[in-house]
Amino acid sequence: MYSVDSLSGSLHQLETFLSEWTKYIEDFSLVNNSSSANQLCLKEENDHLKVCQSLFSLRVLVISIEQDKLACLQRSIDFQKEQYASLLDYNSKLEQLVEQKEATCSNLSCKRVSTETLDNAFSMLLGRQKELIKLWREDIQVLRSNFAASLQKIHVYLFHQLGILVEKFQDQQAQWMKCSQENRLLRRYIQEWKGNLRVVARIRPSLFGNECNNTALRFIGDDMITCHQPLGSSAMSFTFDQIFPPHLPQDFLYEELQPIVSSIFDGFHSCIVAYGPTGSGKTFTVFGPDGKSGVVEFAIRMLFAVTDNDPSLVATISMLEIYNETVRDLLSEDPMASLEVREDTTTGDVFAKGAVEMEMASYSDALRIIQSGLDFRSTSATLLNISSSRSHLLCILKIRGGNEHIGSLYIADLAGSERVTHSHVQGERLDETKHINRSLSCLADVFSALRNQQAHIPYRNSRLTFLLRPALSKAGKAMLIVHVSPEEQELSETIQTLRFGQRARDIELRPSKSQDSSSIFLRRQISLLRQQLADERRQRK
């Protein structure tokens, strides 16, 4: 069988031969034009050759078509061979599976169990499970009944114990209330025995770092101080309820203040007054450094220690400034506005009309309120003090139970007494000094009238004494803290301040004799408490 390429080559050779033969005939015809018979014969031959060429081309085309068909058949045969090979492979796998099936069936036939045997075994297992479930239900029922009985017994026991605890709590509460009342009465008796007006002295540390033994002041025990004057003058001695040397921290002062602060819950009007010359440490005692760790902070901590356990009690605070005999409210929106001092004719209380009383929600809130008030206080620099208070400051703490006023505590940081010959102030500072000295003189007049037990006490001569009247009366309780400096160059102001405190100590703010309880038993109790307090102080030292 010839390929298509060989046939195409033969056809090409035939076409070349025909074209050469045609050219030959044409050339021959041009040479032999005379022989028409020959030309006719050649023409016929040429036409015959062309027909043969056409037939040959057609035959070649048919052969190429048949060749394409043969190629398609060859490809189909190849594909069928591949399919046959895959079928043979699949057949071999099927034969292997059949062999495995026969082996498995033979194994199963060896291990075959009858259906009746399986049904019997399943019935036996089901019966056992039913019996176990029945037993479990019976056990659960027994446990439920036992649990209910035990729970009932526990309830009875717990209610019984609860009743016992309630009775014990009520007994202990009654005992606590009784002890609290006895402590309150004992505290009142101690305060009455010590005197409702107590005077203590506090000496600030030396600014030059001198030891106390090198100054003009000497301490004898814890209640006497002596001043050694120069030029051979005799020493002067002053006795107070307590003396706090420079090396003692403020914690020791708090022990003396505790009865005064606690009396607010007994319904008393009490006051703590810081008195002394300029630069003697009054503001440090009252407010401490940066408004903390002072008398005010200690009093607020004591108030919250009680009010936190009794939601019915509410603590409030007011801050009043007395500047040039003008009362200002440092907590109001306009701290420079002047307020009128009024008297409640029903209760006898004295108050500044329109003053703000802010409720203290927490200890930190109270410190924030105090600092906001101190920011508006009038201070100025003088020759005696770089930051001298030019006004009296009253911090008023009150306790209210519902709508009723229980008690109040006035904490006064007085402006320092000073001599113009020493401070050399002029102008506005001179007017401030005059008003300060005049109000302090009025305070001395009130103390003098109380010491002499005069019928008329000149409280109204000054805004300061008028506002302090509830606490400086015989129904009140007061503590005067006199502050002095240990420096020798300030010895004259120190002696004047100590004399003022000595005179104030002679005042007796006591109730009538019908209210004075000073039995032998109470004196023994007071003596025992003083001894315990002295032992604790020695242990701390």
CA distance to 391, 440, 516, per residue, from 328 (Å): 10, 18, 39
Q: Is 281 annotated as a binding residue?
A: yes
DSSP symbols for 376-409: T--EE--SS-TTEE-SEEEEEEEEEETTEEEEEE
346 is in an annotated binding site: no
Residue 280 in marked binding region: yes
Nearest Cα residue to 238 out of 482, 510, 446: 482
Pairwise CA distance, residues 58 & 7, whole Å: 12
CA dihedral 460, 466, 472, 473 (to 10 degrees): 60
* 261-280 CB burial, b ≥16 within 10 A, e <16: bbbbbeebbbbbbbbbbbbb
| Beta carbons within 10 angstroms of residue 211's beta carbon | 11
Alpha helices in 288-424 (DSSP H): 295-307, 363-374, 420-423
Pairing of strands 269-275, 477-484: parallel
Does 283 show up as a binding residue in the annotation?
yes
Residue 282 annotated as part of some ligand binding site? yes
428, 429, 434, 438 alpha-carbon torsion, rounded to 10°: 110
Say if residue 311 carries a ligand binding annotation: no
273: which strand partners? 412, 480
User: What distance in Å separates the CA atoms of residue 127 and residue 123, rounded to the nearest whole number?
Assistant: 6
Is 427 flagged in the annotation as binding? Answer: no
Backbone phi, psi, residue 288, to 5°: 70, 180
Decide the pairing of beta strands 197-203 and 242-244: parallel
Q: Which of 280, 286, 283 is nearest to 487 (CA)?
A: 280
- C-alpha to C-alpha distance for 431 and 443, rounded to whole angstroms: 19
Phi, psi of 166 (to 5 degrees): -65, -40
What residues have CB less than 8 Å from 195, skipping those under 6 apart?
A: 241, 508, 509, 510
Distance of CA 541 to the CA centre of its chain: 37
In this structure, are residues 487 and 207 in contact, taking their beta carbons and an 8 Å threshold?
A: yes
| DSSP letter for each residue of 117-144 | HHHHHHHHHHHHHHHHHHHHHHHHHHHH
Would you list which residues are annotated within the binding site for ATP?
276-283
What residue numbers does the annotated binding site cover?
276-283
